[in-house]
Chains A and B, each alone.
Chain A
Amino acid sequence: MILITEQERDREEQKRKRYLLFYIVSACVYVAASLLLLFLSPLKYKGYLVGDILLSILFGFFSIFFFTVAYAFVKNRSHLFEKVLAALPEKEYALFVKVGDTITVDGVEMRKYHFIILGDEREVNVLGDQLTLEEGKRYEVDIRAGVLVEIGEANA
């Protein structure tokens, strides 16, 4: 079972670019709308001023949310995929012990899986929650930069 593929990395990168483009377009629309309000405002401009203030607050909130939550999530995933796929592969036989806590690595939430590899217990980070392993069973794993990239049942 392949957990992280190059296609997925490319998809994440495309997604990141799409998000950024969406933000740039939104910023242009915001700037155009707020300048329009300013330039079209009459001498009694209170309504236009309030409109511009509200528009700026909305766009400001959206920007903070975008860069700290939405875009940050996609960017972190993209960077992690890049880092993991560029790392040297470590292909070993591993005995699955247990599922550990959830941790955040480089801004991406992952789950710790405990394996016994070459006689030592190791924690391997796994992206997503879909992986179900059988305790005490041997697996063939591909670990890169501490992250599980591929796992399969070991041949007897």
Chain B
Amino acid sequence: MLKRFKDTFPSEWVKYVVVVILSVALWIWFFGIYHAPQEYEMLEVFYVGEIRDYSFEKIAKEDLAIEGLRKVELNSAKPGESAFDTKVLMVGLGSSDIVIVPESLIDTIPYKGHVVELEQGDFVKDGVIYGVYLPEKAKKSLSKYFAFGTDRYVVFAASTSVNAGKITDNSFKLIDWLVEQDV
């Protein structure tokens, strides 16, 4: 048997290598899919502007310390980049949990109908509270992660999110945490 193995090995060794590569790649993929966080186990922040430091994801997750929260993810769209409007609509308002927008661009974004009406907040339109202004001290504190301009920034809770009251209230907890940031 050993002799036959030695005879066949020179022509079959590639198969052994393929087995190792496939085993590693497929199982990493399978485990990744099986343990992928559910919508209610993660929070996605969409920022209209430039992100400076993605360590925000780790810090926010640890600092929020919400039970069951496994991941905080950042996405962004810079004004002027290609497909900006589509990205804001599809990724920001369509699949994120909270959206941070500079006040000067608010009128270009179809937020009405796409964001949750809040009970408390200071961004009010037609008598409806749509969002919360990010206080200056919070802006200053968060500026190491987000490239804020001189504008005021508004935080919205996307209505498509399951974390805006449907399954969890984590979107609101994140908004509170952002607003309370102080250096």
Binding site for B on A (CB under 8 A): 38-39, 41, 43, 45, 48-49, 52-53, 56-57, 60-61, 63-65, 68-70, 73
Q: In the complex, what distance in Å separates the CA atom of A41 from the CA atom of B30?
A: 12
Q: Give the secondary structure class of A's interface.
A: helix
Assuming the A-B contacts A38-B34, A57-B20, are A70 and B12 also in contact, with contact meaning beta carbons closer than 8 angstroms in the complex?
no
Q: Give the secondary structure class of B's interface.
A: helix
B30 touches A38 (CB 8 A): yes
A49 touches B28 (CB 8 A): yes
Binding site for A on B (CB under 8 A): 1, 4-5, 8, 12, 15-16, 19-20, 22-24, 26-28, 30-31, 34-35, 70
Kindly list chain B residues whose C-beta atoms are within 8 Å of the C-beta of A70.
Answer: 1
Distance from A45 Cβ to chain B, minimum over Cβ atoms (Å): 6
Q: In the complex, what distance in Å separates the CA atom of A56 from the CA atom of B30?
A: 13
Partner of B23, one of A38, A56, A64, A69: A56
Distance from B59 Cβ to chain A, minimum over Cβ atoms (Å): 20
6 new A-B contacts, CB < 8 A, other than A39-B34, A64-B12, are A45-B31, A49-B27, A53-B23, A53-B27, A60-B23, A73-B4
Assuming the A-B contacts A57-B23, A69-B8, are A64 and B31 also in contact, with contact meaning beta carbons closer than 8 angstroms in the complex?
no
A43 touches B70 (CB 8 A): yes
Kindly list chain B residues whose C-beta atoms are within 8 Å of the C-beta of A45.
Answer: 31, 35
